[in-house]
Each structure stands twice: as C-alpha cells, then as structure tokens.
Structure 1
C-alpha cells in the first residue's frame, strides 16, 4: 500500500468543493496521512478573542486537498476509510458567533431580537487521560469530557461544474458535521467529475449531535485515511458504513427534508442489500431506524438515518469493501 504524507501550507488551503486545482494525484488504494487546520483557521486561540473581530468569513473551514484519484469517473463510488484521527494541538476552541447557531436568530431566520452574546471557550487537551476540559466563563464549573475525534467535512467535487462553499453539506458530502465520521467508518460518495477531487477538514475533538451553537471543539487534526474506488454504483447521497451500522446522510432545509432524503435513500439501500420491494423496505425501516441529527446550523441541515447490522441478515455493500479496508487499516497502526 502506497502511503503519502501531506501537510498543506496556508496558501494551499481550499475553501470550496469544486473549482480548485488538485493538491496531488493518487492511485486507488492509497493511504494518506494528512494535517488539517481548524475551522476557525487558527484565529481563535484564547478566551478573550472576540469571534466577530477575529474571524475572516472568506477563510473559514479550510480544507486539505483536493486529491485527484486516478481512474475515478462520474458514477463511480469513492470510498474514504478513516483509519486514525489524532488531535494536532494541545487545545481546541469553540465559540458563539453573532447570527449563527441553532438557538439564535440568523440571516435566514429573521427575528426582532438581537444576536446572542459572542464568546470563545478554550478546551485544554489532556493527552494522557484523553479528555478535553470544559470551563464555564461565569463561575468555576469544570468538566473533563472524553476526546471523540471526528471530521466535520469530507466530500468530493459537485456535479455540473458547481463550486460550493466548504461550509455547505450537500449530495457531494461537504460540511455534514456528523460524529459518525470517526475512526473505523468508511464514507461512500458518488464521483461527479473525473478524478473525484475529494478533500477533508474541520477536525473536531468532540461534538454533540446537532452541533447546537454552531461550533464543536474545533482543532487541527492529523488524519490517516485510505482512499479506494468502486467502479459504478455511486450513491445519490453520502453513505457511511462501520462495523455496527449502515448509514445515509441527507442535507437540506427544512430539516424534515433532510430526514426524508436519508430515509428514502436508506429504503433504496435496504432494497439493494436484501432484494426488498420499496414498500417492504419502508415498513422495515420504520421499525429499525435510528435518526441522529448531525447539524442544525450549517447552510443545509444534516440528518443521519442508521440501521444496525445486528438486526439484519448478513449483507455486503459496495462489494464488501468496508471489511477489506478495515483489514488494510490494521497494517497502518
């Protein structure tokens, strides 16, 4: 297995999916060891930082990539398997940002009240205990929370020559902000352009489902991934697989449409896995689905439909590549 290390310079960050030249060309089956900057672009480093004065709206959510995958053609399925995620700093940052978040007026949800107060929180990382420390800004409440690394953003170039902000989740993946994008997960994306042109970024040291205030414990990340290709069969929306679940991510507004997307796509997937007619798959999904909310703050909201493999017969998705990637990942540890 070829292994490539890549640490982008600041001038190599990209802020879109689509519209950027490739950072490198790789072969299917390549392992990548990548470094990515945090979603704030390292602009928030202390509790005294005021987000509105520190953040450049044109330089948020920097991505590492894109990578051109040889042989990837529209309609194929790109498989991105997460082997390892390790915080690259001894601290992470979170913040409340004016007119951004799930429980405030926004530029799309116009209300008469003003923006909620803006503020920053710094979470110190204890590498030995594998925790990050929450400290209240008012009072002396402290809490050590387990580190649960994830990638907020993984995706490919959109179809039709579109260029989308790296803040946006859509069919191409992007800023889905689901905690399911963690070690051991394989993400599947439909290839829309020659070479797929995939990127990753937005490392989170931990995040609750929904990302309520709009920011997780944001931090620079060292990521090890394996990238492979399945010819044909590209999914309409991102699909995820780990050892316990099959999952589909839908992203839209309003949020019920995100749910509908993920449910419909899971019905199609169950149908393909177990030769079920749509109405039978619909009935089965009604009884077994779990539906964690990924984010309620991005330009589109993301919802995950997941089904446990343990309640279903043994099935093989994308020619069983997840199990193969898991085996290959052990060679890198």
Structure 2
C-alpha cells in the first residue's frame, strides 16, 4: 500500500465466491485510487504450456478469482459505489500479455454441440496493439473487467459464476477504460473485489470464455449517497465498438419465440458461415465468435417471434 490516495492490492489477496464475512484487505476513503493485480480466470491452473487436457481437468471451484475485498470508508446500504476504470496493463514480464480462450466441456451456449475441450493461447505486447493473431484472425483488443462487484447482504458464501444485482461476473465488455460503473451497496464498506480480466470479448461471450488474461487494473472509488439502485448502471466515455466497426460486419440471425433458442441459432449460423466461407473448423469459429462477435436483440415486440442477431466484425478477417 502506498500513500497520496493511491494503493496497491496484490494478486495473492484473492478469494473465490462472494461472502460479506470476508475480512477487508485494505480500507480506503472515497476519492482514492487502487491498483489491483489480478489472476486469470483459471486462478493460475493454466499456463503458456497448458493443453486441452489441462482445460478438461479445470477445477471450476477455483475459477474467476477476484482480488479484494476493499472496504470503502463511509459506504452504507442504499448507497452506490461509483467505480471509475482508469487503466489496464498486462501483468507479464516487461508488460507482455498472455491469455487463453477455451471450450470447457459442459459450459457455453452451444455446449451440447461442442462437447470436447479445446484450448487456444494468445500472445500480445505491452502496447495493447489494436490487433493480435488468433486462430486465423486478428482480434482488436479492448481490455475490461469480467467480474467486478461488491458483497451481497445475504449471509454465507455465494458462487462467483452467476452475475448478481450487486455486480459480479457480468462479463460486460464495455466496463472498460474510462467507464464509470455504479454498484448498489448492500453492506457497510461495500467490500469491493475485481478480477476475471479479459483482453477482448464479444457481447455474449458465447463459448463461455473470452481472452482470459491477467491484467493489472487501476480503479478510482467514490460514493453516491442514498442512490438506492436495484441493479448496476454504467456510463461509457465514448463509442463502444469503434475497435470493431471499421470494416463492417457479417451478420446472421435466429428468429423464433424463444430468445435463448434464437441466440443459439444466430451463433450456429455464424459458425456455419465462418466454416464454409473462411475455412475455420467449427470449434475455432465458435471460440472466435466468443472473443469478438456480438449478440444483439434486434426485435422483441413483434409477437410471437423475436429476432436475435450475431454481428461478426469483418476487420478480424481482413
């Protein structure tokens, strides 16, 4: 920990799950900044030499470690914790970035269609250059916090996997640099934690993983007294898809009375397009969609059928 309103909390200060009885690692005042060191979503179970066999053996009880908790002086139930995301930097030697995308058996939107483990490694540099090489594509980077939240009021240990009204594993790719996030406070001090950092992700994270990467993130904390929010809110500092927009999109759809089935169809159709037109194996197409393609609800009023679209950025392919 350092002075002048700036603090550091290291990656050995992690926990798995949400529990309002966890002891704070540090206490800060509103207006102060904390730099968090994070672990990747596997909690270090995977490394640069890992294979799909290692992914298949992943202990899911240790996934999505979060660094914290941090006690914010003066935070009380009914307040909102305002978190401003200041910066992201890869945590590897010399600022080098390494990450992974995996198809974990039994996990993901199309888990029934892709039952086998598959692991892909990514490497990028300290500049967070706008593109990196993946399985046949170049994916523009936009680091963000996959899991970010505060402790719930309900006693006991709660799983880290599902998102909650107090935040958590939201996997919102726009909670990135410059974004201001408001989280409902349910316990004294808020007990804030963050982790599951990603180098890039598409809206939906359809295979269940993004570019999972250990990234150090600097956050500034403020309080909005008596905000009484029911759910998180956030404000972005500008356009959210400019890193993808430059070449347009390939778009597939799923149409029917069930949004989940529509989402599955839109993704399946995009996998088919990428496989037939660009030569991807179906599993690589699925994983690439997870890190750069966006699921959107295009229409939800024309009873009885709804339209879900999948937008795949052409810049990745050109």
Structures share fold, TM-score greater than 0.5: yes
**How far apart are residue 126 of structure 1 and its match?**
3.2
Partner of 1:121: 120
**How far apart are residue 58 of structure 1 and its match?**
1.7
Partner of 2:91: 88
- 2:132 and 2:141 in contact (8 A); partners too: no
- 1:40 and 1:61 in contact (8 A); partners too: yes
Match of 1:233 among 227, 230, 241: 227
For 2:259 and 2:148, how far apart are their aligned partners in 1?
Answer: 20
Q: Residues 87 and 240 of structure 1: is their aligned pair in 2 closer, same or farther, counting only changes over 3 Å? A: same
For 2:194 and 2:225, how far apart are their aligned partners in 1?
Answer: 22
Q: Residues 128 and 183 of structure 1: is their aligned pair in 2 closer, same or farther, counting only changes over 3 Å? A: closer
For 2:128 and 2:194, how far apart are their aligned partners in 1?
Answer: 27
Q: Residues 131 and 44 of structure 1: is their aligned pair in 2 closer, same or farther, counting only changes over 3 Å? A: farther
2:106 matches 1:99: yes
**How far apart are residue 165 of structure 1 and its match?**
1.5
TM-score where L is the length of structure 1: 0.66
Partner of 1:41: 43
Which ranges of structure 1 fall in alignment gaps of 5 or more residues? 106-112, 137-141, 247-253, 257-290, 294-333
Match of 1:203 among 181, 197, 216: 197
Q: Over residues 198-252 of structure 1, what are the superposed CA-to-partner deviations in whole Å (9 max), with x where a residue is unaligned?
A: 1000000000110010000000011010011111013100000123489xxxxxx
**How far apart are residue 143 of structure 1 and its match?**
2.5
Q: Secondary structure at the match of 2:152?
A: coil
| More strand per residue | 1
Match of 1:23 among 25, 33, 43: 25
For 2:79 and 2:259, how far apart are their aligned partners in 1?
Answer: 28
Q: Secondary structure at the match of 1:36?
A: coil
Partner of 1:222: 216
Q: Over residues 249-272 of structure 1, what are the superposed CA-to-partner deviations in whole Å (9 max), with x where a residue is unaligned?
A: xxxxx978xxxxxxxxxxxxxxxx
2:82 matches 1:79: yes
- 2:89 and 2:126 in contact (8 A); partners too: no
Which ranges of structure 2 fall in alignment gaps of 5 or more residues? 241-257, 261-294, 298-318
- 2:184 and 2:232 in contact (8 A); partners too: yes
Q: Residues 24 and 128 of structure 1: is their aligned pair in 2 closer, same or farther, counting only changes over 3 Å? A: closer
